[in-house]
């Protein structure tokens, strides 16, 4: 799968693309990422990418022509119509389901906003507009990288364990269960004194049916406590539905 990012801060992308799973996927050619400096598509002596808003008011607006030129350059290299995603606070919320849908495309272009945003005419060339959540950032680069990261995980071969992608929290609609690794006990000094922190016995028991059931229960009880909204459209098997009824029953007195 190919990603083209258009930004005025190309170096912002170097860190996230240069480490870990994304780096390996790029090295292996499973994903192909092209980062374009919007300034390379300007034609004036000062390479200006922004200008004052018509009608007045604070802040600057990204000029449309460098963006049109960048898109034309990306489009000329490809034959097919481009999927152009604009990152903006006005966009639809980006979700795991959106990530999976986008991962079925061969190529996406991500336009990163800065300043007050884009000249409205850019939307002529935009297929979708996405926001990553209700908080205010300084620009669209981090959101574009968030989208790229979440989409790339669905591309076959990017994440080593295909099963872990499918079983992920949110894909399944539940939060994850707790995880433990060695050592079996660890000392923790806190205000209340020195304590030994152990590992739930069931995980050391070797009883895999019990372990599976414990993990289901923990995932469900966390989801019920922290993100009950997720349970509305989680897909639960019969055992999970039964455990959830028990948990809800046990909670009754406490609410």
Q: Which residues bind ligand 9D3 (CB under 6 A)?
A: 87-89, 113, 116-117, 131-133, 135-137, 139-140, 143
State the residue for tokens 């963006």: 67
CA distance 87 to 114: 10
Q: Could you say which of 66, 153, 217, 240 is catalytic?
A: 153
User: Rounded to the nearest 10 degrees, how much is the dihedral formed by the CA atoms of 21, 22, 25, 28?
Assistant: -100
Among 168, 172, 176, 213, the active-site one is 168
**Nearest distance from residue 245's CB to ligand 9D3, in Å?**
37
- Please state the closest distance from residue 8 (CB atom) to ligand 9D3, in A: 12
The counts of H helices and E strands in the chain are 10, 9
Residue 240 is among the residues annotated as catalytic for this protein:
no
217 is catalytic: no
Annotated active-site residue 51? The verdict is: no
- Pick 53 or 89: Cβ nearer ligand 9D3: 89
Q: What is the DSSP letter of 29?
A: T
Catalytic residue among 116, 210, 225, 246: 116
- Is 116 noted as a catalytic residue in this protein? yes
Q: Which residues fall within 8 angstroms of residue 61, CB to CB, at 6 or more apart? A: 50, 51, 52, 53, 115, 116, 117, 118, 119
| Residue 189: CB minimum distance to ligand 9D3, A | 40
Distance, in Å, from the CA atom of 38 to the CA atom of 9, rounded to the nearest integer, reads: 8
Q: How far is the CB of 201 from ligand 9D3 (least distance, A)?
A: 43
| Residue of 16, 89, 172, 227 marked active site | 89
Q: How many CB atoms lie within 10 A of CB 182?
A: 7
Which residues are part of the catalytic machinery? Answer: 89, 116, 153, 168
């Amino acid at each position: 799968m190919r990603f083209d990012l258009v930004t005025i801060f190309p170096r912002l992308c170097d860190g996230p693309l240069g480490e870990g799973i994304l780096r390996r996927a790029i090295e292996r050619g499973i994903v192909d990422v092209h980062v374009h400096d919007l300034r390379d598509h300007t034609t004036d002596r000062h390479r200006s990418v922004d200008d004052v808003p018509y009608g007045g008011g604070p802040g600057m607006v990204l000029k449309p022509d460098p963006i049109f030129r960048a898109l034309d350059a990306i489009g000329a290299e490809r034959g097919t119509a481009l999927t152009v995603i604009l990152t903006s606070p006005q966009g639809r919320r980006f979700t795991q389901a959106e990530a999976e849908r986008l991962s079925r495309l061969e190529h996406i272009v991500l336009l990163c906003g800065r300043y007050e945003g884009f000249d409205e005419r850019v939307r002529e060339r935009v297929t979708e507009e996405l926001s990553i959540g209700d908080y205010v950032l300084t620009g669209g680069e981090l959101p574009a990288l968030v989208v790229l990261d979440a989409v790339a995980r669905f591309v076959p071969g990017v994440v080593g364990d295909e099963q872990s992608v499918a079983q992920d929290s949110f894909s399944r609609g539940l939060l994850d269960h707790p995880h433990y690794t060695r050592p079996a006990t660890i000392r923790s000094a806190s205000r209340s004194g020195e304590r030994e922190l152990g590992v739930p016995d069931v995980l050391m028991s070797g009883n895999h049916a019990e372990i599976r059931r414990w993990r289901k229960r923990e995932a469900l009880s966390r989801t019920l406590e922290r993100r009950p909204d997720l349970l509305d459209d989680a897909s639960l098997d019969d055992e999970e539905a039964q455990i959830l009824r028990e948990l809800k029953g046990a909670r009754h007195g406490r609410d």
